[in-house]
Amino acid sequence: MADHPEHDQLVRLDVTAGVATITLDSPHNRNALSAQLRRELGEHLDAALAADAVRVIVLSHTGSVFCSGMDLKEASSGAVAGQEFPRILESIWTSAKPVVARLAGPARAGGLGLVAACDLAVAADTVTFALTEVRIGVVPAVISVTVLPRMLPRAANELFLTGETFDANRAVAIGLINSAVPADQLDGEVRRYTGMLALGAPGALAATKAMLRASRPAAMAEDLAEMLELSARHFGSDEGREGMAAFFEKRPPRWVPSAD
């Protein structure tokens, strides 16, 4: 098949009712992480994170494959991935806004790194996964930074070392994804998650994400003191006061996006 013309976009960004959907749109090579796709994905992530109107980000795809990993044609020609992909993984992982992965098709190798970087991940129950790097003589090194914190250790040892393909139900069981549903229910499940996430206050969501990824002090007293300070700061914040007022007044808080 002919190469995709450089001027054609391989990643698209659409924003509706506070949800930014970033779509990998390179089905001709199974949404492989080519230099162009990596560049455009990073740019769209930056745009979504900078937009005040965006509350939640969904990472989706066209075609039958979510992401097949690095573009091996480029890699075999000597092209070096550099810092683009690590920066993308870090941007998703540390994003102040929740990121949801939507998989209607398989993920392989680097594609699993993207899935694991997202806060939540939903897949059709027909989707398969595999960490295939060792089978082509390379190491799943960069993606281990996001995948290992998600997966059960025994499963990680098995799947990183064997490269075996596993299904969506096992991906749920080992912590890689949150939910596996019939394909015709996939978009509804994604909307269920994005709808719940949009109810959260932006500052509170960002602080909760930071709390979830932070290392905790060894001493319980120190941990409790830090968490008490964090709690008090947000109870006294503008968001905290607005949230409690909305609760008592039985109305949505001001940060809930309109359906327009």
Close Cβ partners of 114 (under 8 Å, ≥ 6 residues apart) = 59, 67, 88, 89, 92, 101, 107
Q: Is 246 left (phi over 0), alpha (psi -120 to 50) or beta?
A: alpha
| Active-site option among 6, 84, 133, 222 | 133
Establish whether 158 is a catalytic residue.
no
- Active-site residues, by number, are 133
